[in-house]
A and B are shown apart, each in its own frame.
Chain A
Amino acid sequence: MIYLDNSATTKPDPSVLESFNQVSNQFFANPSSIHQFGGTAEKLLVTAKNQAADLLKVDKDEIIFTSGGTEGNNLAVKGIALEHQNRGKHIITSEIEHPSIYEACKSLEKLGFEITYLPVNEIGVVSVNDVKNAIREDTILISIMHVNNEIGTIQPVEEIAAIAKNHPKLFFHVDDVQGLGKVSLELMNSGIDLCTYSGHKIHGLKGTGMLYVNNRTKLFPLFHGGSQESSLRSGTENLAGIVSMVKALRLIKEKEKNNVQKIYEMQHYLMDELDKFDGVIINTPKKGAAPHIVNISVPGIKPEVIIHMLGEQNIFISTKSACSSKLKDESKVLAACGFEKGRTTSALRISLSYENSQEELQTFIVSLKKAINEFKKALE
């Protein structure tokens, strides 16, 4: 199998699975139970949190374990909105956010919030000036993703953070689900108040995630109950999931430090080869994009057909992001870039991980060429 859909999800690392298994077997006690067994579980939880905090270079009290990116994004957006609505009801976000931001914002509109959806330029980047100009007296939140999940462009979140720093009344949230482990982002003293991470995008397990909430930021919780996770996220901790995710975090950080060049090289190879194809447009910019995503359009073809043709040979890529693939129409992100319909409705996404190899990509290129040619022949 050649798996090139790593932005949808990644294969769990075997040692991560092993940790999950061991913790489930040996430390299944509830960390809130006061017996010794519960004490051990709690100690493991604290150890995991300390390690996560160290890896992200933040304070341990600033990490909230969640069930994943969607929960983290919802907790950040709705948590700020509900907690600080007396200060103002205006939120700034972009047109290319993940549905868990976009739809959360849409839902807040029904509660009387006003949302500014900022446009992007032709390579899918939000303008820092637009953000600056959109800030109002009653703005309480800016939420901008770090790396776009469809085309991989990196948003200027550091510059936006610097602006946010000058507006102490608002909070700045970054959705870094796609960037973690590939494009580094410093949190400490950055001006970023909240940051969402997901476990299964870094070879952890589904149902695990983290939200960074810095010490100055207060949120209204989505889940009330037994006051776990500093009362921000009640519910018995998913200890096995948490421990395994923190291990995945350690592993991906090591890979990022030592091997990120490898992904860049694979991406360059892909782009060079795809450039030679007739009728293929590369949507991912050559500069200013994350290393693991290559988005292309092949106007005139039906992307699903290509997906299935490749799938028959055990090669897996995707159309637009898996999360919005159920919507029939065009790619919202590509439309936001201002591309014409032929391009926005024929997009394919190839997304890499540290596990992929050059040979796999060679095979993929050959198969893709064949698939496109066959498709075109059938039309003639």
Chain B
Amino acid sequence: MEFDHILIRYGEMALKGKNIKQFINQLQHNVQQKTKEFPNVKVKRTQGRMFVLLNGHEPEPIMEKCKRIFGIQSLSLAIKVDNEVEKIKEAALYALTQADNAKKFKVTVKRINKDFDVRSQEMNQILGGHLLTNTEGITVDVHHPDVEVKVEIRKEATYITSSVVPGLGGLPVGTSGKSLLLLSGGIDSPVAGYLAMKRGVQIEAIHFHSPPYTSERAKQKVLDLAKQLAKFGKSIQVHIVPFTKLQQEIFREMPDAYAMTIMRRMMFRISEKVCENESILSLTTGENLGQVASQTMESMHTINEVTNYPIIRPLVTMDKQEVIEISHQIGTYETSILPFEDCCTIFVPKSPKTKPRRDKVKYYESTYDFSQSIQEAIDGIETIKITDKKAVDESFSNLL
């Protein structure tokens, strides 16, 4: 006997009124995509429930995949058996013995199929008795059980579960449109991307690359971060912008104190163009209020002037510690703290303006024509598709 199903419960989505169908379809699609590498797995739906049929695959790796899909409230491993008392007894015992730290349990029987002869209450007692006589050191506690053995007698079969694993919540990626994430390689931007994805947003990423000031390893780091994010959603297009020339011009031609602000404005201008080309309707950044000198209200006001696209700033009110905690949870922290220079750290002016003004910036920008370099940067964009598949580097494959 072994668990042959994963039961998926979706929470918030149940509240979504008329759109519910679209949300559930997307969730089913996402689960299918994430479990594609397991050839026999099937994803099915019956009234208000989604089941992953394992068909002989081991449950753990598939559970791990499902734990990273947004839109799932909780998951349980389930056993499907025929509607026969003896088979249900056997399966309930298996489910109980598989649960961690089972000291106190309760049995909950739901008889949805009223054709089943034994009534819920009676079934409860039969199963409770069976479990008690066939285990050691485990007692019944209906008020504070460690494990609840849930038995659902449905028309086609009976499903038995024992432990409930929380899912990530949120909405299925793909139900809230696309956004372009400004991905730097630091701690914040991957977390911002993750939180946008949590609300159902599909993200693409843009990264500004300034060789030789920034290295291939810095670029690889960004791709690694994108890969980590892709585990929570679909594949991610990463647009790598060659930024060296434009950046050099900014730092050469613009007043030192304003160079950082103007550089950020250029990034937004280029990002907006990418959005236009890719039919993306918003930008997402890891900006946060008051965290570093450039992230002030004044700075945001001045930089935001160059675009009227909505900018999603999921971290804007968070403390640094909260952001770091999330980055640990989602597995981006270790990569983020790798010590490579990125385009924001390489040309740091001695005293960047913490309260830049729109009128001044506008004036400085009018004194030099950046248009050609901007266009060159856009034309030179390299787009890389990142999936969460494990790509074995070709040059290493014979070594390993």
| B101 A243 Cβ-Cβ under 8 A | no
Known contacts A44-B396, A246-B400, A250-B400; decide if A39 and B100 are in contact (CB<8 Å): no
- B217 partner residues in chain A, CB cutoff 8 A: 34, 36, 39, 42
Would you give the shortest CB distance from B3 to chain A, in whole angstroms? Answer: 13
| B101 A47 Cβ-Cβ under 8 A | no
| B215 A34 Cβ-Cβ under 8 A | yes
Known contacts A36-B217, A57-B61; decide if A243 and B100 are in contact (CB<8 Å): no
- B340 partner residues in chain A, CB cutoff 8 A: 34
Q: Does A50 contact B (CB under 8 A)?
A: yes
Alpha-carbon gap, A42 to B215, bound state (A):
14
| A43 B390 Cβ-Cβ under 8 A | no
Would you give the shortest CB distance from B58 to chain A, in whole angstroms? Answer: 9
Known contacts A34-B340, A166-B101, A189-B60; decide if A44 and B399 are in contact (CB<8 Å): yes
- A250 partner residues in chain B, CB cutoff 8 A: 400
| B390 A19 Cβ-Cβ under 8 A | no
Q: Does B216 contact A (CB under 8 A)?
A: yes
Q: Does A254 contact B (CB under 8 A)?
A: no
Would you give the shortest CB distance from A267 to chain B, in whole angstroms? Answer: 28
| CB nearest to B217 among chain A residues | A39
Alpha-carbon gap, A363 to B327, bound state (A):
61
Would you give the shortest CB distance from A353 to chain B, in whole angstroms? Answer: 21
Q: Does A184 contact B (CB under 8 A)?
A: no
| CB nearest to A189 among chain B residues | B60
Q: Does A356 contact B (CB under 8 A)?
A: no
- B60 partner residues in chain A, CB cutoff 8 A: 57, 188-189
| CB nearest to B391 among chain A residues | A47
Would you give the shortest CB distance from A52 to chain B, in whole angstroms? Answer: 9
Alpha-carbon gap, A34 to B340, bound state (A):
8
Would you give the shortest CB distance from B96 to chain A, in whole angstroms? Answer: 14
| CB nearest to A42 among chain B residues | B217
Known contacts A47-B396, A50-B390, A247-B399; decide if A39 and B101 are in contact (CB<8 Å): no
Alpha-carbon gap, A210 to B47, bound state (A):
48
Q: Does B334 contact A (CB under 8 A)?
A: yes
**Which residues 67-91 of A sit at the B interface, judged by CB distance below 8 A?**
none
Q: Which of B215, B390, B393, B399 contacts A23 (CB 8 A)?
A: B399
Q: Which of B215, B393, B398 contacts A39 (CB 8 A)?
A: B215
Interface string of A229-254 (1 = CB under 8 A from B): 00000000000000100110010000
**Which residues 337-393 of B sit at the A interface, judged by CB distance below 8 A?**
339-340, 390, 392-393
Q: Does A304 contact B (CB under 8 A)?
A: no
| CB nearest to B392 among chain A residues | A47
- A44 partner residues in chain B, CB cutoff 8 A: 393, 396, 399
Q: Does A61 contact B (CB under 8 A)?
A: yes
| B390 A54 Cβ-Cβ under 8 A | yes
Q: Does B220 contact A (CB under 8 A)?
A: yes
Known contacts A34-B215, A47-B392; decide if A19 and B399 are in contact (CB<8 Å): yes
Alpha-carbon gap, A50 to B220, bound state (A):
16
| B390 A39 Cβ-Cβ under 8 A | no
| Residues of A within 8 A of B (CB-CB), count | 24
| B399 A243 Cβ-Cβ under 8 A | yes
**Which residues 1-49 of A sit at the B interface, judged by CB distance below 8 A?**
19, 22-23, 34, 36, 39, 42-44, 47-48
- B390 partner residues in chain A, CB cutoff 8 A: 50, 54
Interface string of A287-311 (1 = CB under 8 A from B): 0000000000000000000000000
Alpha-carbon gap, A246 to B390, bound state (A):
16
Would you give the shortest CB distance from A218 to chain B, in whole angstroms? Answer: 15
| B399 A22 Cβ-Cβ under 8 A | yes
Alpha-carbon gap, A166 to B99, bound state (A):
12
| A47 B216 Cβ-Cβ under 8 A | no
Interface string of A140-179 (1 = CB under 8 A from B): 0000000000000000000000000110000000000000
| CB nearest to A240 among chain B residues | B399
Q: Does A100 contact B (CB under 8 A)?
A: no
Q: Does A127 contact B (CB under 8 A)?
A: no
Alpha-carbon gap, A57 to B58, bound state (A):
12
- B393 partner residues in chain A, CB cutoff 8 A: 43-44, 47
- A54 partner residues in chain B, CB cutoff 8 A: 390
Alpha-carbon gap, A189 to B98, bound state (A):
11
Alpha-carbon gap, A22 to B395, bound state (A):
12
Q: Does A51 contact B (CB under 8 A)?
A: yes
Can you sample 21 A-B contacts with CB below 8 Å?
A22-B398, A23-B399, A34-B215, A34-B217, A34-B340, A36-B216, A36-B217, A39-B215, A39-B220, A43-B393, A43-B396, A44-B393, A44-B396, A47-B392, A50-B390, A57-B61, A61-B334, A188-B60, A189-B60, A247-B399, A247-B400
15 more contacts with CB within 8 A, not counting A47-B400, A247-B399, A250-B400, are A19-B399, A22-B399, A39-B220, A42-B217, A43-B396, A44-B399, A47-B396, A48-B400, A51-B392, A61-B334, A165-B100, A165-B101, A166-B101, A243-B399, A246-B400
The 10 A-B pairs at the shortest CB distance, nearest first, are namely: A39-B217, A19-B399, A47-B396, A247-B400, A243-B399, A51-B400, A44-B396, A246-B400, A47-B393, A188-B60
